[in-house]
Each structure stands twice: as C-alpha cells, then as structure tokens.
Structure 1
Amino acid sequence: MEETVAIVGAGMGGLSAAIVLATSGFRVTVIDAADGPGGKLRQVTAGGRTFDGGPTVLTMKWVFDALLSRCGTALGDEITLKRCDVIARHYWQDGQRLDLFADIAESRRAIADFAGAGEALGFQRFADDSARIYRLLERSFIDAARPNPLSLSARIGLHRPSALLALKPFSSLWSALESYFTDPRLRQLFARYATYCGSSPYLSPATLMLVAHVEQAGVWTVEGGMHALAQRLMQIAQDFGVEFHFGERVSAIDRDGSAKAVRGVTTDRQRHVPAHFVIYNGDAAALPGLIGQARPARGGASQRSLSALVACGPALPAGVPLSHHTVFFSNDYAGEFDAIFGRGQPPADPTVYVCAQDRPAGHDNSGGADTGQAERLYCLMNMPANGDSHAYPESEIDRCLSSMQRRLGKNGLTLQLDRTALSITAPDQFNQLYPGTGGALYGRASHGWMASFQRPAAPGPLQGLYLAGGSVHPGPGVPMAALSGKIAAERLMADRVLHGRSRPAAITGGMRTRSATADSSPSQ
C-alpha cells in the first residue's frame, strides 16, 4: 500500500519535506490556509504593484542545490539568480556610509577607508573566526538532527577543546565584537547579525558570528522576487505528484484510537485527510492547539523573537543612494533593543532596513532612480512580538512610520511615503498570519548559550508526527527552514525503517510526472 504524508503548511520547510518524500516514493498532500505557497515568503500588493513581503535575502545556495539534486536538477537551472556584489549598504547619522562586499578584500579596503587600518585588520580576524565557527557547525549542528551540548561536543571532538572554545558560546555577540572593533559603528553593523534570527545582540551568543561567513559565501537575488523561489519549488514538487490544497486551514491533527499516533488531519472545511504520517510546518507555539493539548501560558512570550513593522509601497527616494539592501542605523542601538525586549514597546529611534526591490545589488542608480518614477520599496523596523495581546491602531502605526522616516532623514535619505498606497503589516497582523506567535517571525529568541538547543527537534509529541519550519531546529531563515524540512523527512523515513516497514521505491529525476517547465496549478 502506498504510504501517505500530510504536510501542514507550504512554507519553505513544508516544500522541502514534500520534495524529499515525493522523490522517495511517498504520496504527499500539502495543505495551507494561504492562497499560495511560501509561508513567510509571501507577496503583498501596494499601489497596484506586487512586492516580496517577507524575507528578501537568499543565502546558503548549497542547501537548495542539494535538495534539488534529488530531482536531477539544481537551483540555477530552475530560477534566475544573481549574486550580489554589494552584500549591503549601511548609513549612520549625516550620511556616513559603508558598503560590505562579497569580496572580503574589497570589504577590508572599504573598512580601512571608513575607519582606519586597525579596524580593517580587526575585520579580517572577525571574518576568519566567523568562517571557522561556520565550518565547525555546518555538519555537526546546522545540517544535522538537533544535538544536545554533549552530543555536539562529541561531533566536533571532545579531544579538540580549542575548537569548542572557538564557538564562543558563553560570550554575547556584542561583547565579542569589542575584541575585533573599537569603532562603535562597526560593532553596530556586525551586531545586526543577531537580528537575522530575531534576537538582541546584547543577549545572543557570539556563535552568531557565523552569519557573516554565510553572507560572504554568497547573497543572491531571485528574478521575480523571493516568492518566485517558493512557486518554483511547488511546481517541482507537483512534477513528482505532490498535491497542494490552498485556502484551507488545518484545524486538527487527528489521532488514532490509542491517541498516541497520528492518522491524518482535519481542515476547517470538516474534511478529513487520512495519512500515515504528518509533518507540521508551522510555528511550534501553535501545535498544542492542533493536537488537543492546552496551549502554554503567555509566560512563554518572554522567549519570543522579534516581530516587525513592514511597509511596502511605491516611493521616490532622494538624498543618499540606495543599494538593493540598505540599513539605516539608529543612534541608540542599546535603547532600541531595551525598548523591544525590556519594555515590549516599539523603539522611538529604530534601525530601518530598506529593500529597493527594483535595484540590482551594488548599483547606486537603477530601476526607478533612472526613470524618475516611484520604485518598489520595502521598509522594516524591529518590533516586540506582542501581537496577541496588543492591537496596533492607525495612530500607533503612524507614530512608527514617522519614527522610521525621521531616522532615514537623519541618515541622509528623504522618503515621502504615501500612506494610502502602502501595504503595512504590524505584529498583530503577523500574529493572525502565523497563529500562536504573537507576531514573532523567528520562533524563540536565541538568547543565552542554551537557546539553540531548546528549539524543538524534528520528532513531534505523537508517533508519526514531525516538525519543520523556522521555529524548530536548525532555526529561522529561508535555507535553515528548508533544512528543517529535509531533516524532518529523513527522520520520518529512518523511523519508518526502524519500525520494520519497507521503504517505498524512490523516484529518480528522470521520472517526473510533468516536465520542469510545465504549467502546473495547485489543486483546490
């Protein structure tokens, strides 16, 4: 009998798991409440134009190449990618500017011009150490079933104490940066890597330095936007027979008579979808309600990662030139995170990230800037994840937008936003999109050296239930969520063999049910 898997959620983890399982011979059904794939890789419409409304950065391309090798293809054969020459542009008060480049030597020269030769040497040490941390963790932690501290130590090598200490687990990212940089602007720049997993650089471990190496290894833009990646992965999964049902929310994960094992899912249309296995690709905070357990008390809110206020819309920027990715830093970085994590309030002086979605990375003038017409801009400020307990009325949204525009102006960018033409998402709306989160976009915050070990692992609390997504191991981010789906699928298959069931016949890349370029629309 063909074995079936129901996947709850068509985010990156669900898409990855679907491809792994379908190419291994399972019959897979994916159900999602949204009207299309991607999860947080969503699209929004503003001013009559479409925008990426979620993640805007693609890194760790090897994750997707490895995933698609199961299908006889590679990421660059399926979508059009362009590697960014400029990783990001950064501005401080009065237009002080520093670009980070894909080439380390070019970044070192830029830092020397910006802050002096000593800081450039500090950057080289930082780059070397971040690469070392990444290499230590890539196979032992990132692309592996979730270890505990002891098993991680064993994987790295208990006989290599210098390697374990190189991870800097007991230092905060901010304090570690003080050993590399004396210029506070550079500490602020590289401390921002903590926010990539929704955390404060003052509370998260220095291990997050590895993000610097991830970026140096390649930052990519996707033709058609990041949402196009999700669309293409869905189409590839469909080529291998995966069925997708959108606009249908899973209301319960069903148990068998023993109440210890799954037997499928029920949707809000009162439709039962039988399945031998279930992969839950949603935030772990919402899982208890789906399996009939009491939800945890809101005390868990103190462990949540950052939320955000995201404003997308057409605008005509003036003043300092934008790159594809541009960051405008606050004058009070510590105060920004104290407001969010300490007081649960929007920061009065936020750091603002702007993605100019019509601009190739590294060009001062392109897209709308060449034509004199408004271009597509995505503006983000960090916010507390309190969207389940605090509503954000228009007056508060207006204050946040004004704070963003003030910071942009102080750092040299004049940006007049037509608020009637904006798509705005605040923490309460993110909580509606991703139930149980309060609007947290990265699962739990990576605060303290144990935080990475406290994310849920792939095996769920019921037999036959597995977890994927950014709130579980190995963590948030597009490639990490994809890895979580792969890990969940591989654990499902390993458990299946362990319990004496034969493995289904794998489907090779030459046996797609449809061609890679076929027009395949999701099942409704």
Structure 2
Amino acid sequence: MIVVGAGIGGLAAAIRLAAAGFRVSLVEAADHPGGKLRQVPVGTAMIDAGPTVLTMKWVFDDLLSLCGTCLEDEIVLDRATTLARHVWRGGDSLDLFADPAESRRAIGDFAGRREAEGFSRFAADSARIYALLKDTFIDASRPNPVSLSARIGLMRPASLLALRPFSTLWSMLEGYFADARLRQLFGRYATYCGSSPFLAPATLMLVAHVEQAGVWIVDGGMHALARRLASIAADFGVTFHYGERVDAIMLDRAGRAVTGVRTDRDRVLSAANIVFNGDAGALATMLGQSRPRPVPLARRSLSAIVACTLVEPRDERLAHHTVHFSDDYRGEFDAIFGHGRAPADPTVYLCAPDRTADGARLDGVAVGAPERLYALMNMPADGDRCSYDESEMERCLTAMEGRLAANGSALRFDRSRMTVTAPDGFARLFPATGGALYGMASHGWAASFRRPAARTALKGLYLAGGSIHPGPGVPMAALSGKIAAASLMADRRSDGWSRPVAINGGTPMRSATAAPSPLQ
C-alpha cells in the first residue's frame, strides 16, 4: 500500500494500516514529515510555522492505542491552564481558562454579570453541540443531511434544532453576548476552519468546548508531534521515501482502479491501494487530467501571512497564545472574502513558544534574551493569482505592528532574523490550494457536506487531509486518516481479500529497526 504525503492525515492512515499488519510505503515530497506542521529558521533557532494548538488529545490516544502506547508516553505535554489572552485597543485584555468557572469569573470582571451568565449558557450549548456531533459527524464517515439526521435520531427534533444549522455563528453570539468584544473573541473560532464568523454556521460553537476540554503545549513544538508519529510508523514497518514527489497516480486500462504512482524520479511504485493525503484540488493533475481543478476562489478558506521572528521581551503581557483584535471585525472579513484583499487593520494572532501558557518564561530562556515569536494575520487565498513581493509583505507586517501598538504592545519584529510566508508561498508549498490553509471555507449550512469523503469513485483510491471530511485542524486531519484507513480495510474485506498475517499471530510488534516493507 502507498500513502502519499506525510502530513498528519497520512501519518495516521499509515500507522493504522501498519498496525493492522499491512505493508505500507509513504512517499513525501519534503525531506521531513509533518506537512503543514513544519518548522522554519529564525536566526540560529527553529520555530513552528504551522498549526500551534493541540486539542482533542483523545484522537491521538485512540490512534496510538493500536500501537500499545499513548500520546503522553511518546512526547512531553503540558496542559494549558490559560487557554489564550485576548487584547483590544488601548490594552483591555481578557484571559480564558481551562476551568470554565475561572473563565466565567474573568468575563464577569471584564464585562459584567450578564455577560458572565451569557458565557455559561454559551459553554453549555457548545458542549451540547459537540456531544451531538462527535460520534455522528466528527469521528464518522461523511454523512449527508439525511444520514446525519438519522444518526442523531429523527425522533429527536430538539437535538436536531440545537445544531442551529441555518444560523451564522455571529448571529447566534448576539444572543449570548451584548459586548461586541466577546462576540469577536468567540466568533474567532470560525477562523479555526478558515472561515468568517459572519458566514460560518453556528455549529462551530463546538470549538469552544473542544478548547475547554483541553489545550496542550507540545515540548519542542507541534512539529515534534509529527516527527514522533513518523518514528512510531517506522517502528511498525512503514517505509518512508522522503524528498520524492508523486507526480501521477496510475490507473488501469479501464481507468477505474489505481495501480500505483509515478514520482519525480521517474520511478513507478506499484500498489492496488493508495491513500492520497493532499489537497483534493490536486487530484485532477495527479490523475492525468489536462487541467488542475483547484477550489474556486469564492469557496476557498483563509490563507495567511505568517511571520516567524525574534523579538525583544519587552511585552510582559505576552502569553503562549495571544490574540490582538482589530477595531472592525466585520470589515476585516469583508476585505478578505468580499473584496479579496488584505485587511488594512488585521487581527493578529501570536504564539510565543518560549513562554508558558500564562506568559512566564520557560526554564532555560535567559532573562533579556530575544524570544521566538510566531505572528499571523488572515489573508485571502489568492496565492496562485497574486505575487507577494517584498513591498507588499512589508505593508502587511507594518499593519500587524500597527495593530499591536494600538493594543498597547511594544513588540516589534526583527526583520533581519525573520522567515515570512505569504499566500503565494503557501500555494507553492501545498499545490492546487491557492494558499488556502483549510480547504474549502465552512460558509453556509451545506459546506460541511461538500467536503470530499474518504472513498472515491476509483477502486483503491482513498483521501485524507484537512480538505477532506471531517475538516481542517490537526486532530481532524488525523481522523480523516483514520476514516481513510478504515474504509480501505473494509473494502478489501468486502472484495474477498484475506486479512494480512500479523507478526507473531497478533498485532504487529514495534521494533527499533523497521524491516524492509515491499509495496503492496
């Protein structure tokens, strides 16, 4: 079997297939695993340049249970007590906490008793939505509206209505919070799916519950998670081909079943089963169609300017996760999705990997020494249409620093020690995306049902990754790999394939040195 792409979805699929006894080869264009979980240099240090938040730890514990281990036995984790710090013009700030009672107290101190009560109702409703969708949608093969209703229960109309599929996240937040700053704070959860809170469905409230259920900081950064999963996969016999790009997925003469892949080394690797862990828009090119079919611009999710740099540690209010909000949130998203341009006044997300969740410097970070900083502003996914030259990126960086200054921060980016990725850079890194980081935007009630499913019309071809059901995000990508692997194994059984012979008659044993794995 072949897995194309060593992002989280591909790694999860490879581990599941290898743990079930299959021989798996994983082909990756980069010279390291991780996909979007990548690192870049800032001066002599390295810093994560992709996802920075780990939630839904149960997804990885479930995956690693197949290997006789769990996530905390494989990497060092710190559960955050402070989820994030949120800052507005003039320096008004609000921390959210893992303890809902602490968050309620903080919101009451920040905005008053009625807003604290609104938070309690919001937290309860977000937990209810998560409970309804966890097993019926998130951790399941892609449903359609009818099958989702059946999974939840057609005789439970109150539960179906609780999902509020036809309401936007922003409109629902108005029922909980009179303070526009709190609507900004909780509306930002739509950006976790690369979407606008003014267009995304209210079901994205569930992200609030996901965070309160646990946010973990990974020692060594999120890229360390990818490297550890790749190491575990290798222990179970997965063969990795790094630095080799798949240029084509090969089909039989009838064009109905996969037969293998051809790489940029003009090498053909034969396989009857392939898991493609890449953007769905790249499939047309992979299958030899004359023109690629990327997601139309109007349906693409957010892209970003990501600046990884060093800063002088003058901002003592910097937490591990800090969000500096713009003055005009609606205008920000209207610029991106309505006009396809960079917002003049962006919201800026900061990750300070040299700080603990609540902002204390990590042990070993010298007092007064420059700190690593990851800074992100949302952008349109126009990287296949626009070239971001130095002057355009400088305008964006200046806008980010302007927002930080307006919110009372003294942080300034060190441009002499900085790595910046713009939408055109993401478009080159992730083909056929245009720089969109989350596949399709989750706008409208039907958006979640439009994401491709794991199974395809071609026999033996399965899909995984953030553009595939159940959607973007590190744990969701891992779940896409789970669904792809499960679908593949179920189809092999239904086709009459015998179950692979496991080592020692049971689950394949993990070894320090993986045995050679011929393609299958």
For normalisation by structure 2, the TM-score amounts to 0.97
CA–CA distance in 2 between the matches of 1:358 and 1:377? Answer: 8
CA–CA distance in 1 between the matches of 2:118 and 2:291? Answer: 47
Q: Which consecutive residues of structure 2, in runs of 5 or more, have no partner in the other structure?
A: none
Measured at CA, do residues 279 and 511 of structure 1 come closer, stay the same or move farther in structure 2, by a change above 3 Å?
closer
The correspondence of residues 366-385 of structure 1 with structure 2, limited to 5 A, is 366=362, 371-385=367-381
1:512 is aligned, of 501, 509, 513, to 509
2:355 is aligned, of 354, 359, 364, to 359
Deviation sequence 1:442-467 (CA, Å, 0-9, x none): 00000000000000000123110000
The correspondence of residues 98-113 of structure 1 with structure 2, limited to 5 A, is 98-113=94-109
Q: Which residue of 2 aligns with 1:77?
A: 73
Q: Which residue of 2 aligns with 1:401?
A: 397
Q: Which residue of 2 aligns with 1:497?
A: 493
Shift of 1:298: 6.4
Deviation sequence 1:12-38 (CA, Å, 0-9, x none): 000000000001111100011111000
CA–CA distance in 2 between the matches of 1:174 and 1:367? Answer: 40
Measured at CA, do residues 246 and 208 of structure 1 come closer, stay the same or move farther in structure 2, by a change above 3 Å?
same
Measured at CA, do residues 176 and 295 of structure 1 come closer, stay the same or move farther in structure 2, by a change above 3 Å?
farther
Shift of 1:293: 2.3
1:131 is aligned, of 124, 127, 131, to 127
Shifted more, 297-306 versus 386-395: the winner is 297-306
The correspondence of residues 346-495 of structure 1 with structure 2, limited to 5 A, is 346-366=342-362, 371-495=367-491
Shift of 1:368: 8.7
Shift of 1:318: 2.4
Q: Which residue of 2 aligns with 1:189?
A: 185
Shift of 1:501: 1.2
CA–CA distance in 2 between the matches of 1:143 and 1:509? Answer: 26
CA–CA distance in 2 between the matches of 1:85 and 1:373? Answer: 25
Measured at CA, do residues 55 and 373 of structure 1 come closer, stay the same or move farther in structure 2, by a change above 3 Å?
same
Shift of 1:414: 1.1
CA–CA distance in 1 between the matches of 2:467 and 2:264? Answer: 24
> Are residues 1:234 and 2:230 paired?
yes
Deviation sequence 1:332-370 (CA, Å, 0-9, x none): 100110111011111000000000011110134556986
Shift of 1:509: 8.5
Q: How many residues align?
A: 517
- Alignment check: 8 A CA contact 1:317 1:413 kept: no
1:293 is aligned, of 286, 289, 292, to 289
Specify the SS of the correspondent of 2:132: helix
Deviation sequence 1:375-428 (CA, Å, 0-9, x none): 010000000000000000000000000000000011111112121210000000
- Alignment check: 8 A CA contact 2:294 2:433 kept: no
- Alignment check: 8 A CA contact 1:72 1:509 kept: no
2:117 is aligned, of 90, 105, 121, to 121
2:326 is aligned, of 317, 320, 330, to 330
Shift of 1:520: 11
The percent of aligned pairs where both chains have the same amino acid is: 64
Shifted more, 443-452 versus 311-320: the winner is 311-320
Residue 511 of structure 2 aligns with an amino acid whose one-letter code is R
Shift of 1:249: 0.5
The root-mean-square deviation of aligned C-alpha atoms, in Å, is 1.8
Q: Which residue of 2 aligns with 1:172?
A: 168
Measured at CA, do residues 367 and 403 of structure 1 come closer, stay the same or move farther in structure 2, by a change above 3 Å?
farther
Specify the SS of the correspondent of 1:413: coil
Q: Which consecutive residues of structure 1, in runs of 5 or more, have no partner in the other structure?
A: none
CA–CA distance in 2 between the matches of 1:522 and 1:224? Answer: 30
Measured at CA, do residues 519 and 28 of structure 1 come closer, stay the same or move farther in structure 2, by a change above 3 Å?
closer
Q: Which residue of 2 aligns with 1:309?
A: 305
